[in-house]
């Protein structure tokens, strides 16, 4: 028995020892660390339609703030504030037979500056505007103001108080509450708001946008712009003339205001490239091929114009 | 797979949070539609002079190939005075992207004043507006200057309309051509002759700084190199050379002339200081080195040489020394001309009995042929480095050389009007 145990131990040790000698560089079994990625399957609509509720929320404050309405009407005219530059170069080309005449001093008489006629701004428009002016920007910030002003202004927003009595669901109010929620970091406001937002279709009619729908819209915009954009040619640095232009659209696809340059170089060439991009988005308007039911997805668009591929930098 | 999905989600989030982002990498490269209604005169309506000015501007911009002036017959407003804001609603339907509104009037002292504004039709913004005073006989130059301003403001490049071309005018029978040095505006107007045809003239070249040209001439037995002041007509002999002297060309600072001199079957490149008249030999090879051209920074010289067996292009330091071959294609390369931008060298290439005009980077990369045919030769650059002029010969007894121009892109090839046959063009720098 004892001998058997000893033999067994010796035998095992021998096998182990043999193993150590026979497989000295056996590789260790490595387990690669796999980074864990948290994956949330989120419908794209949730991301693209964040503003849906906001837009409606802003309708209430509108009467109090005529400003956006004025803006909407301004873009039509603001040209010609600058009078023509009067360069001191007088074109006095040297006549062939005589030595060049000297440039004569030029009395700068700039053509009279063109007056910009102030648009008739109608502050009385607001009552109508909120309902029909979709230009109202659904920035989360604004609604906050609204929420704050509500208690101070007893007259119009009094509706808020009445709400509890109403059995009917008011999407406007929910939108306002939701908006308030965001900036305050989620305080106490109406807990019912969230389920209602996701459940109720009327507050978020254009919510569902799939990736393919988004791709389709982007493709449609690209094709349209490809017709209208005439990038500056022959410019040596064409490869570096990337320009980003932002536009806001009305539900009918027309421009809500002048396009804005969001990103462009400061040199004159970049300026010319930016002008060609702005011209393109203006010529291409209205963007009536975009699906109206997805308005919230294309209300604000950023175009990045990059002539590199075309002009070969 | 998982990673890809996550990356996709992340990028999606990034996009969606901002707003709809659309990359535009394709466009419709086409001439810019521009409306140039007749300029008004002093009386408020177009007169002969004011209409002429707007017509010259229109022709300049059209010839550039970058603009498509709109037919005035389509205009809703027949004129656009420069004083007020145009009614853009009448110009947008024409698809005009830019509008030029101008006036040319007489001043009290016998001069003319031309003023214009350039408008962006779609934004309604004024892009530029200027006013020029000039002698009435120089109205064409005023028009060219205005066209240059418009060109530069809309393309971002310098214009080249206020320039001239000097060339060799060829008249008479093919067997007995009379060759005279002639000069004209870049659009063919205001032609005049600089020599009387009594001597053989070759290779006129503009000074980069002054209204001055240099050319080679065979008067009697000797080759001579001259400087000629275009404004005064004053001619100065740079030097007599017992052997053939070829293709003199200015350095960018106008202080030197490079050329090749023939010596016992070979030709070498020399640099001549115009003030000291000192001649410096730059190449020492037992081969034919000729057609030197400075880089715009004056530090290098490109030239043609058959030192490698066939005629190819080489680049060397402006002070001489070893040269680097830059062309390796089939055929023979000659008459290199460095672009004023510095980015490419234009050349003539002869291959299989055909002559083409092409460009290549100074390091030998990116060779492109711009035009090809029976005989194309002698490229010269517009001062903005965008357009090349050259001369083209057509075969046959009655054929003769003509001036043509082509874009750096190889498009927009057009004939330059000359009264007779013409060869060896040289483009001036911008005049003012």
Q: Could you give the angle at the alpha carbon of B205 between the alpha carbons of B204 and B208, nearest 5°? A: 160
pLDDT at position B266: 87
| Residues in chain B closer than 8 A to A225 (CB atoms) | 22, 24, 26-27
Give one word for A96, left, alpha or beta, with left for phi > 0 and alpha for psi -120 to 50: alpha
Q: What is the pLDDT of residues A170-190, one digit of tens each?
A: 555 554 444 444 444 444 444
Computed over every residue of chain A, the mean pLDDT equals: 60
Q: Of B176 and B36, which is predicted with more confidence?
A: B36
**What pLDDT is recorded for position B339?**
94
Residue B237 has pLDDT above 80, yes or no: yes
- Which of A105-119, B163-177, B295-309 shows the lowest mean pLDDT across its residues? A105-119
Query: Cβ B130–A85 below 8 Å, yes or no?
Result: yes
pLDDT digits (tens, 9 = 90+) for A207-243: 567 888 888 899 999 999 998 898 877 555 555 788 9
pLDDT class for A113, splitting at 50, 70, 90? Answer: very low
Supply the pLDDT for residue A110: 39
Does residue A114 contact residue B87 with C-beta atoms inside 8 Å? Answer: no
Kind and range of the H or E element at A300? strand A300-305
Best-predicted range by mean pLDDT among A101-105, A231-235, B405-409?
B405-409
- pTM comes to 0.69
> Which pLDDT score, from 0 to 100, does residue A300 have?
92
More confident residue, B354 or A22: B354
Question: Model confidence over B106-152: pLDDT tens digits?
Answer: 998 999 999 999 999 988 999 999 999 999 999 999 999 999 999 99
Is A48 an interface residue toward B (CB < 8 Å)? Answer: yes
Our CA angle for B312, B331, B249, nearest 5°, is: 40
Lowest average pLDDT, out of A70-79, B65-74, B116-125, B405-414, goes to A70-79
Could you give the domains of chain B? 32-155 (3.40.50.10070), 164-427 (2.120.10.30)
> Which positions 188-227 of A are in contact with B (Cβ < 8 Å)?
211, 214, 217-218, 221-222, 225-227
Q: What residues of chain A, 257 to 296, have a C-beta less than 8 Å from chain B?
A: 258, 268-269, 272-273, 275, 277-280, 282-283
Average pLDDT, chain B: 88
Residues B259 and B244: beta-carbon distance below 8 Å: no
Give which of A91, A110, A228, A283 to mutate to test B binding, by max B Cβ within 10 Å. Answer: A91
With CA atoms as reference, report the closest residue to B204 among B242, B256, B170, B247.
Answer: B247
Mean pLDDT (whole number) for B166-170 = 93
Pair A222, B22: CB distance under 8 Å:
yes
Residue B304's pLDDT is what? 94
Instruction: Using alpha carbons, select from B20, B61, B91 the residue that is nearest to residue A283.
Output: B91
Q: Above pLDDT 90, what percent of chain B?
A: 57
pLDDT tier for residue A91 given thresholds of 50, 70 and 90: very low
Query: Which residues are CB-neighbours of A95 under 8 A, at least 6 positions away?
Result: A101, B135, B137, B138
Q: Residues A19-78: pLDDT tens digits?
A: 777 776 656 666 666 556 656 666 665 555 554 444 545 454 444 444 433 333 333 333
Chain A positions touching B9 (Cβ under 8 A) are 39-40, 42
Q: SS3 of A158, please?
A: helix
For residue B426, the model assigns a pLDDT of 93
pLDDT tens-digit readout, A234-291: 555 555 788 999 999 999 999 998 999 998 888 888 888 898 899 999 989 899 999 9
Q: Once rounded to an integer, what is the mean pLDDT over residues A134-161? A: 38
pLDDT of B11 over the 90 cut: no
**Tens-digit pLDDT profile for residues B260-297:** 888 878 899 999 898 898 889 999 888 999 999 999 99
Res B431 pLDDT > 90: no
Spell out the domains of chain A, with CATH numbers in brackets. 45-69+129-206 (no CATH), 211-311 (3.30.1150.10)
What is the nearest CA distance from A40 to chain B, expressed in angstroms? 9
**Which segment of A146-155, B124-133, B213-222, B228-237 scores lowest on mean pLDDT?**
A146-155
């Amino acid at each position: 028995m004892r001998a058997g145990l000893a033999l067994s131990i010796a035998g095992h040790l021998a096998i182990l020892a043999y193993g150590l000698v026979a497989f000295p560089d056996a590789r260790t079994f490595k387990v690669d660390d796999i980074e864990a990625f948290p994956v949330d399957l989120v419908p794209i609509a949730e991301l693209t339609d964040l503003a849906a509720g906001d837009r409606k929320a802003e309708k209430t404050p509108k009467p109090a703030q005529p400003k956006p309405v004025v803006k909407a009407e301004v873009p039509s005219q603001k040209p010609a504030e600058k009078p023509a530059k009067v360069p001191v170069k007088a074109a006095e080309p040297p006549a062939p037979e005589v030595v060049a005449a000297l440039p004569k001093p030029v009395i700068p008489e700039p053509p009279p500056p063109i007056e910009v006629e102030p648009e008739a701004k109608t502050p009385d428009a607001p009552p109508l505007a909120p309902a029909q002016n979709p230009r109202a920007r659904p920035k989360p910030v604004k609604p906050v103001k609204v929420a704050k002003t509500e208690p101070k202004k007893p007259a119009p927003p009094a509706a808020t108080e009445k709400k509890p009595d109403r059995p009917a669901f008011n999407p406007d109010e929910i939108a306002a509450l939701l908006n308030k929620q965001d900036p305050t970091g989620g305080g106490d406001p109406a807990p019912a708001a969230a389920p209602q937002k996701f459940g109720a279709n009327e507050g978020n009619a254009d919510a569902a946008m799939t990736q393919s729908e988004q791709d389709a819209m982007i493709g449609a915009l690209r094709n349209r712009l490809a017709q209208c954009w005439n990038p500056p040619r022959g410019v040596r640095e064409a490869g570096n003339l990337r320009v980003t232009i932002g536009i806001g659209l009305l539900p009918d696809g027309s421009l809500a205001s002048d396009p804005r340059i969001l990103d462009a170089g400061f040199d004159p060439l970049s300026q010319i490239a930016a002008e060609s991009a702005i011209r393109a988005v203006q010529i291409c308007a209205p963007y009536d091929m975009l699906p109206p039911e997805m308005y919230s997805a294309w209300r604000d668009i950023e175009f990045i114009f990059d002539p590199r591929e075309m002009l070969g930098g | 797979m998982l990673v890809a999905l996550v990356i996709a989600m992340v990028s999606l989030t990034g996009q969606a949070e901002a707003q709809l982002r659309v990359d535009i990498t394709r466009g419709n490269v086409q001439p810019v539609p521009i409306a140039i209604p007749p300029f008004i005169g002093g009386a408020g309506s177009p007169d002969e002079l004011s209409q002429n000015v707007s017509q010259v501007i229109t022709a300049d911009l059209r010839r550039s190939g970058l603009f498509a002036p709109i037919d005035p017959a389509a205009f809703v407003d027949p004129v656009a005075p420069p004083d007020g804001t145009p009614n853009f609603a009448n110009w947008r339907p024409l698809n005009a992207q830019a509008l030029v509104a101008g006036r040319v009037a007489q001043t009290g002292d016998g001069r003319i004043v031309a003023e214009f504004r350039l408008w962006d039709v779609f934004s309604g913004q004024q892009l530029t507006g200027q006013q020029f005073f000039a002698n009435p006989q120089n109205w064409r130059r005023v028009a060219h200057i205005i066209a240059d301003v418009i060109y530069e403001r809309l393309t971002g490049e310098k214009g080249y309309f206020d320039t001239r071309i000097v060339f060799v005018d060829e008249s008479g029978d093919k067997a007995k051509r009379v060759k005279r040095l002639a000069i004209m505006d870049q659009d063919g107007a205001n032609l005049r002759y600089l020599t009387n045809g009594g001597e053989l003239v070759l290779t006129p070249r503009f000074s980069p700084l002054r209204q001055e040209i240099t050319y080679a001439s065979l008067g009697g037995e000797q080759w001579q190199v001259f400087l000629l002041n275009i404004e005064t007509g004053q001619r100065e002999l740079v030097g007599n050379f017992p052997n053939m002297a070829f293709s003199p060309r200015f350095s960018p600072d106008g202080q030197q002339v490079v050329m090749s001199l023939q010596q016992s079957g070979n030709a070498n490149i020399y640099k001549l200081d115009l003030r000291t008249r000192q001649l410096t030999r730059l190449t020492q090879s037992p081969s034919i080195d000729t057609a030197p051209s400075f880089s715009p920074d004056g530090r290098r010289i490109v030239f043609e040489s058959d030192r490698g067996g066939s005629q190819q292009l080489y680049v060397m330091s402006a002070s001489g020394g070893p040269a680097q071959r830059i062309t390796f294609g089939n055929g023979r390369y000659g008459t290199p001309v460095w672009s004023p931008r510095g980015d490419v060298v234009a050349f003539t290439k002869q291959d299989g009995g055909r002559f083409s005009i092409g460009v290549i980077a100074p390091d030998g990369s990116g060779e492109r042929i711009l035009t090809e045919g029976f005989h194309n030769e002698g490229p010269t650059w517009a001062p903005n480095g965008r357009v090349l002029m050259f001369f083209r010969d057509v075969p046959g007894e009655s054929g003769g050389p003509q001036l043509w121009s082509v874009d750096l892109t190889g498009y927009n090839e057009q004939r330059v009007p000359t009264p007779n046959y013409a060869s060896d063009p040289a483009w001036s720098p911008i005049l003012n």
